[in-house]
Amino acid sequence: MTERAQQLRETARQALYRTPNDQECEIPIAVAVIRAIVNEHQYYQCCEEEGVEDMVVDARLLYDLADELEALK
């Protein structure tokens, strides 16, 4: 397992422990993992207008990360 996948699994575990009701835990876990991914892998891309930037996350990186997480089974 890659270090990146291990970190996301730990993020999901922490979100699970903060959620008191098992039936409600899926959304907080998904939110925590999405935020962890974006925080780690975001970058800014300049646009044609000076001073304007877009926050970007590479789709290929997300697909690769999904493959790594599936391999955790």
User: Which residues of the chain fall below pLDDT 50?
Assistant: none
Q: How far is CA 38 from the centre of its chain?
A: 5
Structure confidence at residue 25 (pLDDT): 58
| Domain residue ranges of the chain, discontinuous segments joined by + | 3-70
Compute how many other C-beta atoms are within 10 angstroms of the C-beta atom of residue 37.
Answer: 19
pTM of the predicted model over 0.75: no
Structure confidence at residue 22 (pLDDT): 56
- Tokens 């008191």 sit at which residue? 20
